[in-house]
Amino acid sequence: MTENVEVPKELDATIQSMDNRFHDIVTLDDRKSYTGYLVPVENLIDFATSIRDDLGYDYLSSVTGVDYFPEEKMEVVYHAYKTSGGGALVFKVQIPREKPEVPSLISVFPGSDFQEREAWDLLGIRFSGHPNLTRILMWEGFEGHPLRKDWKEPFFEEEKKPYKNRWPEGGVYRIEDEVPMGKNVKYPLGFDPQKWTPEEQTTFKEDMDSEAGDNGSNGSAMHTDQIVVNLGPQHPSTHGVFRMVARLDGETVVDLYPEMGYLHRNHEKIGERNTYIMNMPYTDRLDYISSMSNNLGYALAVESLMGIKPPERTEYIRVMMVELTRIVSHLWSIGFLLNDLGAFFTPALYAINERELILDIFEATAGSRMMCNYLRFGGISRDLPDGILETVRELVNERLPRKIDELDTYLTENEILRSRCIGVGVLSKEDAIAYSAAGPVLRASGVSYDVRRADPYSIYERFEFDVVVRYNGDVYDRYLVRMEEIRQSLRILHQVVRDIPEGEIQTGKALYQVRVPAGEAYGRVENPKGELGFYVVSNGKPNPWRYHIRAPSFINLTALGKMCKGEKVADVVAILGSIDIVLGETDR
Amino acid sequence: MYGIGILKGLGVTLKHFVETYVDDFRWLGKRYYNEEAYAVRQGPKATGIFTVQYPEEKLIIPENFRYLPFILYEEKDDGSIEDRCTSCGICPKICPPQCIWIVRSNDPETGRPIPAPTEFFIDIDICMSCGLCAEYCPFDAIKMDHVFEIASYERMEHHILNKEQLSKPVSYYSSIQPKNFRREEEARVAKEAAKAAKKKEREAKKAAS
């Protein structure tokens, strides 16, 4: 929401009082409907260190780039927050488009690691000082940086939807006839996919030569070798096509890094070609377990650009749907954590049973079980059908509390679960903040940070609920946080079904072509997986100029290597399960 | 004591195991293929086995369920049919994956466009079942269907649906979505009444002046 993105008023005073060091250098971004500060490239690291240490903006939420093609410049946009709560400090760096180079903030905020790699991969912005600036979502033999405005795919139809040949021309064709297999890829000059071998296995090579050759890394005098093992991309417990490259010493993980992008479809490029309303069903496909929640993040971002608010009843319905989604997602996550631990499918199916009843509510209301596409700008697509509210009441007041308690009795005290989870995959409080972890991962490490409380959106400030915190930062605590969050969601739902008013569901008329004034907005919501942010830049045209997603599943993986070091191979699977990723969102 | 947690957990499993038989006994053999039992089995009061015996038993589809779009035509009393679609072009313009093609044509005599589609194509390989076309159609001419068993042997031939394959009568729509149909008809009647009233008023004004 705009209120959140706006720079806090005390900030100017703080910057002035700091020591006037930055007051002379930093300028306010005075473009219309833009917020934040413009920082010169050479002062970036100083500025970032200073806001972290002196002003308390210790949580770097989002790093992304924008290609301002007509003005021949690139911009890197950073959103920093305080873990004690409050609005964003937005700062930006502008660089020429021909030679976009920015110092990497990885030394100040390690959580910017993957996000900077993503900006390099998709926009070609070079982050000097980044230790491993390689492609992360696209593959190594890919030509160009697809999010640049002058990049075109091999089968290029038109710059913007709607395409003219659908209407008014009506020249029907099959896409596969136009782009047969083999013609749909473009390689860089001199690149032969048949002869190319990936280099990334060598990332560990130097360490291996130096360390593993001699003895002693496992404490014994016996000569041991370390081996590199790929878990995935089709490993059954990686929750999708996701690969973890692990260096092992016996059964112990010495080093591990995640490798993703197998499901990459350049969601953001698609989004920039779409009109605003067309993006709504696409957001369903990000974290496909919690589509209602994704819809809300995007709707908030665009609504703040348009300057509208939904009616009262809609707000309640939205919160109801989003909290039901949270229950769905956490049930799924708990069930599959148990799968990853080897308790094959009995706990998962008990959890999915309840999920099914909630999906029935979505199906009856929105029309689809998973790809809900329910929210609209300033409203929702349709009102609740007759009788659905009674079903929700019955579920929320009677069945779900009972079933959650049953799941609790079933799992929480189980000795096998406890011994597999307690003390495994520990992420300390400091690391969790530094790596920009979000959601249950962050709260299990002792950081009481929930966007619903820290920076309330929609009507969350009206409801009574607790932010769930645990302090050990291990797999077990993440499990407990999720379990307790289901109860807190039920608490919110009790209040929603009690207070939900009658009334309109749409502000203004529902239009198929909304007018979005120029400007930028960052809409963020507390998704079940963590903080989901939508950074949208509009230039007043029917299609967004920039549409970026801060994906919690993606950024939470930054800390995966850290969590897995020193653990056993079998625990890596449990640790990944406890982060709870969805590949549709990780790879986008 | 070590092991209590496991025993408690096993107790839950045992409870689930027993419940499946209890529920079978409760319905005395009428648990399956019985509409009344079915509504309870799939609702918030469900106990016992939760799954349905597809394809013998099928889930009851809620009215708002959407799968693929189809276009509507009115059946006139004299047996002729008339498309509701006026080929206004909103659905191909709003379709997110751009899977709708409409071909228009002009009247050979007057040279003006005919307010009905000559051809209407939907590539169902591309359709993402989002329902935006049905939602924003100002003439209620395109709606989302409930048919989901559409497997075919040959996707090259069958997966671009033409106007003939897409068209279904309004009576079919009113059978799958009775409440939505009734609401839309009421809205339409109210709108026409308002229009007529306005016209009358204008005429009265004209006559007065």
Between residues 187 and 206 of chain B, which touch chain A (CB distance below 8 Å)? none
Range of the domain at A361: 267-425+475-587
pLDDT of residue A219: 55
Q: Enumerate the residues of chain B whose CB falls inside 8 A of the CB of residue A350.
A: 12, 16
pLDDT of residue B112: 84
- The CATH code of the domain that includes B123 is 3.30.70.3270
Beta bridge partners of B100: B122
Give me the mean pLDDT over the A183-189 stretch: 81
**Distant-in-sequence, close-in-space partners of A463: CB < 8 Å, separation ≥ 6:** A319, A491, A492, A495, A496
Q: Enumerate the residues of chain A whose CB falls inside 8 A of the CB of residue B160.
A: 172, 174
Task: Report the percentage of chain B scoring pLDDT > 70.
Answer: 100
Q: Does residue B196 form part of some domain?
A: no
Give me the mean pLDDT over the B71-78 stretch: 88
pLDDT of residue A161: 87
Q: Does residue B199 form part of some domain?
A: no
Cross-chain Cβ contact B63/A385 below 8 Å:
yes
Q: Does residue B156 form part of some domain?
A: yes
Do B80 and B166 sit in the same domain of this protein?
Answer: yes
- The CATH code of the domain that includes A7 is 3.30.460.80
| Closest CA of chain B from A360, distance in Å | 9
B48 touching A (Cβ < 8 Å): no
In which band, very low, low, confident or very high, does the pLDDT at B142 lie, cut at 50, 70 and 90? very high
* pLDDT per residue as tens digits for the range A83-138: 888 888 888 999 998 889 999 999 999 989 999 999 999 999 999 988 888 888 98
Q: Enumerate the residues of chain B whose CB falls inside 8 A of the CB of residue A416.
A: 6
- Cβ density class A308-334: b for 16+ within 10 Å, e for less: eebbbbbbbbbbbbbbbbbbbbbbbbb
Do B81 and B145 sit in the same domain of this protein?
Answer: yes
A343 touching B (Cβ < 8 Å): no
Q: Enumerate the residues of chain A whose CB falls inside 8 A of the CB of residue B3.
A: 415
Q: State the DSSP string of A261-283.
A: -TT---HHHHHHHS-TTTHHHHH
Distances (CA, A) of B180 to A386, A414, B146: 11, 49, 14
A416 touching B (Cβ < 8 Å): yes
Rg (CA), chain A: 24
Q: Does residue A223 form part of some domain?
A: no
Task: Report the percentage of chain A scoring pLDDT > 90.
Answer: 43
Beta bridge partners of A60: A80
Cβ-in-10-Å burial (0-12, 13-18, 19+) of A87 comes to buried
**From CA A126, how far away is CA A129, in angstroms rounded?**
9
pLDDT of residue A225: 80
CB A285 within 8 A of CB A484: no
pLDDT at A1 over 50: no
Token duo for residue A243: 């690969």
pLDDT of residue B207: 84
Least confident of A237-246, A253-262, A346-355, A480-489: A237-246
pLDDT at A479 over 90: yes
Cross-chain Cβ contact A172/B93 below 8 Å:
no
B10 touching A (Cβ < 8 Å): no
pLDDT of residue A222: 67
Least confident of A74-83, A111-120, A191-200: A191-200
For residue A230, give the DSSP letter: E
pLDDT of residue A213: 45
For residues A191 and A414, the model is more confident at A414
Q: What share of chain A is helix, strand, coil (3-state, %, to 5)?
A: 45, 15, 45
* pLDDT per residue as tens digits for the range B160-179: 888 888 899 999 999 998 99
pLDDT of residue B5: 87
CB A587 within 8 A of CB A258: no
Cross-chain Cβ contact A512/B132 below 8 Å:
yes
Cβ-in-10-Å burial (0-12, 13-18, 19+) of A352 comes to middle
In which band, very low, low, confident or very high, does the pLDDT at A203 lie, cut at 50, 70 and 90? low
Q: Phi/psi at A289 (nearest 5 deg)? A: -80, -30
Question: Cis bond leading into A168, ω under 30°?
Answer: yes
Q: Does residue A151 form part of some domain?
A: no
**Model's pTM, two decimal places?**
0.89
pLDDT of residue A220: 58
| Closest CA of chain B from A363, distance in Å | 6
Q: Does residue A462 form part of some domain?
A: no
Closest CA to A273 of A118, A146, A137: A146
Do B124 and B26 sit in the same domain of this protein?
Answer: no
Least confident of A24-28, A49-53, A90-94, A373-377: A24-28
Q: Does residue B184 form part of some domain?
A: no
Closest CA to B105 of B88, B90, B93, B117: B117
**From CA A530, how far away is CA A313, in angstroms rounded?**
26
CB B94 within 8 A of CB A512: yes
Q: How many domains, in total, are found in chain B?
A: 2
Q: Does residue B203 form part of some domain?
A: no
Range of the domain at B13: 1-59
In which band, very low, low, confident or very high, does the pLDDT at A215 lie, cut at 50, 70 and 90? very low
What is the distance, to the nearest Å, from the Cα of residue A97 to the centroid of all Cα atoms in its chain? Answer: 27
For residues A512 and A17, the model is more confident at A512
Q: How many domains, in total, are found in chain A?
A: 2
* pLDDT per residue as tens digits for the range A219-230: 556 677 888 888
Among A410, A419, A421, A479, which would you mutate to test the B interface (most chain B Cβ atoms within 10 Å of its Cβ)? A410
Do B73 and B133 sit in the same domain of this protein?
Answer: yes
pLDDT of residue B45: 86
Closest Cβ opposite residue B66 in set A368, A398, A512: A368
pLDDT at A173 over 90: no
Cross-chain Cβ contact B179/A385 below 8 Å:
yes
Cross-chain Cβ contact B12/A409 below 8 Å:
yes
Do B92 and B159 sit in the same domain of this protein?
Answer: yes
The overall average pLDDT reported for chain B is: 87
B63 touching A (Cβ < 8 Å): yes
Q: Does residue B76 form part of some domain?
A: yes
Going along A69-198, which residue ranges are E strands?
73-81, 89-96, 101-103, 126-128
SS (H, E, C) A391-438: HHHHHHHHHHHHHHHHHHHHHCCCHHHHHHHCCCCCCCHHHHHHCCCC
- Domain limit, last residue, from A128, A154, A184: A128
Q: Which residue of B has its CA nearest to A380?
A: B135
Q: Enumerate the residues of chain B whose CB falls inside 8 A of the CB of residue A411.
A: 9
Give me the mean pLDDT over the A148-163 stretch: 87
pLDDT of residue A26: 83
Q: Does residue A522 form part of some domain?
A: yes
pLDDT of residue A405: 92
Q: Enumerate the residues of chain A whose CB falls inside 8 A of the CB of residue B12.
A: 350, 406, 409-410
Q: Does residue B205 form part of some domain?
A: no
Q: Enumerate the residues of chain B whose CB falls inside 8 A of the CB of residue A381.
A: 131, 135
* pLDDT per residue as tens digits for the range B1-17: 688 888 998 999 999 99
Q: Which residue of A has its CA nearest to B2?
A: A415
Do B149 and B101 sit in the same domain of this protein?
Answer: yes
Closest CA to A325 of A513, A492, A112: A492
Question: Cis bond leading into B113, ω under 30°?
Answer: no
pLDDT of residue A200: 56
| Closest CA of chain B from A142, distance in Å | 24
Cross-chain Cβ contact B101/A381 below 8 Å:
no
Question: Cis bond leading into A233, ω under 30°?
Answer: yes
**Distant-in-sequence, close-in-space partners of B33: CB < 8 Å, separation ≥ 6:** B56, B57
Do B107 and B165 sit in the same domain of this protein?
Answer: yes
Q: Does residue A207 form part of some domain?
A: no
**From CA A220, how far away is CA A425, in angstroms rounded?**
25
| ipTM of the shown complex | 0.90
**From CA A525, how far away is CA A533, in angstroms rounded?**
7
The overall average pLDDT reported for chain A is: 86
CB pairs under 8 A between A and B: 144
- Domain limit, last residue, from A128, A161, A182: A128
B54 touching A (Cβ < 8 Å): no
pLDDT at A199 over 80: no
Closest Cβ opposite residue B131 in set A174, A367, A416: A367
Q: Does residue A499 form part of some domain?
A: yes
| Closest CA of chain B from A418, distance in Å | 10
Q: Which residue of B has its CA nearest to A509?
A: B136
| Closest CA of chain A from B187, distance in Å | 15
B86 touching A (Cβ < 8 Å): no
Q: Enumerate the residues of chain A whose CB falls inside 8 A of the CB of residue B100.
A: 166-167
Give me the mean pLDDT over the B98-111 stretch: 86
Q: Enumerate the residues of chain A whose CB falls inside 8 A of the CB of residue B135.
A: 381, 510
B103 touching A (Cβ < 8 Å): yes
pLDDT of residue A204: 55
- Domain limit, last residue, from A82, A98, A128: A128
Q: Does residue B206 form part of some domain?
A: no
Q: Which residue of A has its CA nearest to B130?
A: A281
**From CA A360, how far away is CA B41, in angstroms rounded?**
13
Cross-chain Cβ contact A409/B9 below 8 Å:
yes
pLDDT of residue A201: 52
* pLDDT per residue as tens digits for the range A310-320: 999 999 999 99
Q: Does residue A543 form part of some domain?
A: yes
Task: Report the percentage of chain B scoring pLDDT > 90.
Answer: 23
Give me the mean pLDDT over the A64-72 stretch: 89
B62 touching A (Cβ < 8 Å): yes
